[in-house]
Structure 1
């Protein structure tokens, strides 16, 4: 049985994988992302969920892994997506999806192995 933190890590990984599937479906192209509201919403929702789940990790876990993951930044991104969605920079969402999410997925896989 997984600890509550690793259960959350499993869920975070599932959302990382959803973002990867969405990118594979629509294309790894910012112009497509920039012009497709469904693409934007799909990625943004998963980022929001990742931030929500990361906020529920125990303080002990976040502290122990803070040299590998910026948990506070994930929660901050969640807040930006949730509260400023209409004015949120699509470039930031795209960069997060293309750079940070694969790194997060790799971290999650290493934690679960």
Structure 2
């Protein structure tokens, strides 16, 4: 599966669980960690876990290795390392506090509207 196709599946999975403010940063040429960072948040620990679980399930269904999944039990900031795509699922409060979009402000954002149609 192509990276862009899987990125769309990840965004749709987050949206299916009503993730809020989904942002995709194109990290190519900016960070050696991943090509894309996907960031979103939920309004409760249960919602954060539901979003992270849906993304994990999509990865498994598409034979994409989950290199690391951290923070699931606490559900304040779940990090899913899917290789070229790293997903950050925040609790609303943590997202405001850490403000990763500002930290990576030089990274261009991808338009997700077409991914959700």
Check whether TM > 0.5: no
Higher relative CO (Cα under 8 Å, sequence separation at least 6) belongs to: 1
The structure having more radius of gyration, on CA atoms, is 1
Q: TM-score, normalised by structure 2?
A: 0.36
Higher share of residues assigned helix: 1
Higher share of residues assigned strand: 2
Q: TM-score, normalised by structure 1?
A: 0.37
